[in-house]
Structure 1
Amino acid sequence: MTSTRQLWDISAPIHHSSPVYPGDTPYRQVWTASIGPQCPVNVSTIEMSPHIGTHADAPLHYDAQGAAMGGVDLAAYIGPCRVIHAIACGPLIQWQHIAHAITPDLPARVLLRTYAQAPQHWDDQLTGFAPHTIERLADLGVQLIGIDTASIDPASSQTLDSHMLVRARNMRVLENLVLDAVPEGDYELIALPLKLMQADASPVRAVLRSL
C-alpha cells in the first residue's frame, strides 16, 4: 500500500490587487478574445512585474552582469528544504531567531516564516534577513533561502546588503512565500521559475511535499 504525500501550496495568489513594491508594475489583465458566436476561446494579455506574488530573483536582479532567470540552473529550486518559524522577530532575522532549528542535517534549502498571517497589502515594515544570518547559512551549505515577505532586505534599504551577500555566495532566493499553514520541519520544495531569457525574476508556483 502506498501512502499519499501531503501537499502544501505556498504560493501567493496573483490578481489586480496583489501587493506590489512601490513603483513596480501592478498586475493587469486584458481580454483580447472572448468566447462567443465568432470565437471559440478566451485569450488574455497579462502585464506585471515579475516580482509580484511568489517569485524567484535572478542574479540579474542585483548584478548587472548576472544571469537572467532563463539561464539559472534549476537544481536549487527542487529538493529537500527546512521551514523555520521566526514569527514577529523584528526588522531582521538574526541568528538567534533560527538557531533552534539548525541541526547538522540542515538541508540546502531554508524557508523562513515571519508572518502569523500573510498580509494582503504592501508592508513597508517587512522583515528581512540580517546579512550575517545568510553568511552562516551559506557556511552550512545552504544554497537557497526563501522568505514570506517581499524581500530579503528591508523595504527601505538602499544598499541591499543581503542581496549583495547572496550574490557573493552564489545563492538563490525565493520571496513572497505563503507559509501560514506550514509547521516547522523538513519537506520537499518544488518552486520552478519560468524560462524567461531576459528577466530579472520569475513567478513560481511553489509547493511543499511531505517527505
Structure 2
Amino acid sequence: MDKYFSCQLIDISPPVRTGSPVFPGDTAYQQQWGATISPGCPVNVASLTLSPHVGAHADAPLHYDPQGPSIGQVDLTPYLGPCRVIHVMGCGPLIEPQHLQHAWADLPPRVLVRSYIRQPQDHFDTALPAFAPETITALADAGVLLVGIDSASVDPADSKTLPSHQVLRQRGLRVLENLLLDDVAEGDYELIALPLKLMEADASPVRAVLRPLA
C-alpha cells in the first residue's frame, strides 16, 4: 500500500537540512540531539532551530501585515485541491501576465509557477525570479486563491516595499514559496500542502505534494 501511494504522489518539497539556503540574515536550519538511544535511553529526540521560511513554506498574512492572521489562524482550503503548474523558465527577473497566457484558460483556484530549470539548493539566489505585482492581480481577478513559486520569494530579494506580497494582502490570496518543481511537467494536479497550526508564527514549513489527476 505504501508503494502504491508513493507512486501516485510527486514530492515538490526541497530537502531541509544543515546548509539549506535561507534569506540572508534569516535563521538557518540547525539540529541538536537532546537524547540518543543508549542503554539508559530508549529513543532519539532532536531539537530544531530554524526559520519557518526554510524549504517549501506557506507565508501567513502576518508575515507582511502587522495586523494579519498567523499561519495557524488561516483557512486551510487554499492549500488543498486542484492546481495548475505553469512553466515560465527563462522569462526574466519578473514573471509578467503574458508569461502565463499559454496556460491561462480555465485556471483552477491554485497556480504554481516553475521559473527555474534547476532550483538552487546549495546557495541563496540573490537574483531570484519573482512575480510582477500585476501578475498577482491578474491571477486574483481570475479567481485564483493560492499562488506558488519555486523561488524563495514572490518579490525580488532586494525589494523593500514587497509589492507582490502587498497584492496578496489586499486580495486575500495565500502563497507557497520555495517549491521544488524541477521535474514536474506543466499541467493540472491536486495540491496538498498544509501548513502547521503554529498560532503565533508568520509562516510554516509544508510538505508539499502533487497528485496527478489522471
TM-score band by shorter chain is over 0.9
Letter in 1 for 2:46: S
Determine if contact 1:187/1:209 at 8 Å carries over to the other structure: yes
**Percent of aligned pairs with the same amino acid:** 64
Q: 2:139 aligns with which of 116, 137, 140?
A: 137
Alignment of 1:54 onto 2:38: no
Letter in 1 for 2:156: P
> What is the CA–CA distance in structure 2 between the aligned matches of 1:154 and 1:38, rounded to whole Å?
51
Determine if contact 1:56/1:174 at 8 Å carries over to the other structure: yes
Cα deviation, residue 6, structure 1: 2.6
Query: CA RMSD, aligned part only?
Result: 1.4
Letter in 2 for 1:125: A
Q: Give the corresponding residue for 1:18.
A: 20
> What is the CA–CA distance in structure 1 between the aligned matches of 2:160 and 2:88, rounded to whole Å?
24
Alignment of 1:76 onto 2:93: no
Determine if contact 1:71/1:197 at 8 Å carries over to the other structure: yes
Q: Deviations over 1:145-201 (max 9, x none)?
A: 000000000000000000000000000000000001100000000000000000000
> What is the CA–CA distance in structure 2 between the aligned matches of 1:88 and 1:119, rounded to whole Å?
15
Q: Give the corresponding residue for 1:125.
A: 127
Matched residue of 2:23: which SS? coil
Alignment of 1:1-211 (within 5 A): 6-103=8-105, 105-120=106-121, 121-211=123-213
Cα deviation, residue 5, structure 1: 7.0
Determine if contact 1:5/1:210 at 8 Å carries over to the other structure: no
> What is the CA–CA distance in structure 2 between the aligned matches of 1:23 and 1:160, rounded to whole Å?
17
Cα deviation, residue 88, structure 1: 1.9
Change (3 A) 1:42 1:81: same
Q: Deviations over 1:14-59 (max 9, x none)?
A: 0011000001000000000000011000001000000000000000
Letter in 1 for 2:110: R
Letter in 1 for 2:119: A
- TM-score norm. by structure 1 comes to 0.97
Moved more, 5-14 or 164-173: 5-14
Q: Deviations over 1:64-96 (max 9, x none)?
A: 000001000000000000000000211100111
Letter in 2 for 1:109: R
- Structure 1, unaligned runs of 5 or more: none
Letter in 1 for 2:150: D
Q: How many residues align?
A: 209
> What is the CA–CA distance in structure 2 between the aligned matches of 1:66 and 1:96, rounded to whole Å?
31
Matched residue of 1:96: which SS? helix
Letter in 2 for 1:130: A
- Structure 2, unaligned runs of 5 or more: none
- TM-score norm. by structure 2 comes to 0.95
Moved over 2 A (4+): 3-6
> What is the CA–CA distance in structure 2 between the aligned matches of 1:175 and 1:127, rounded to whole Å?
11
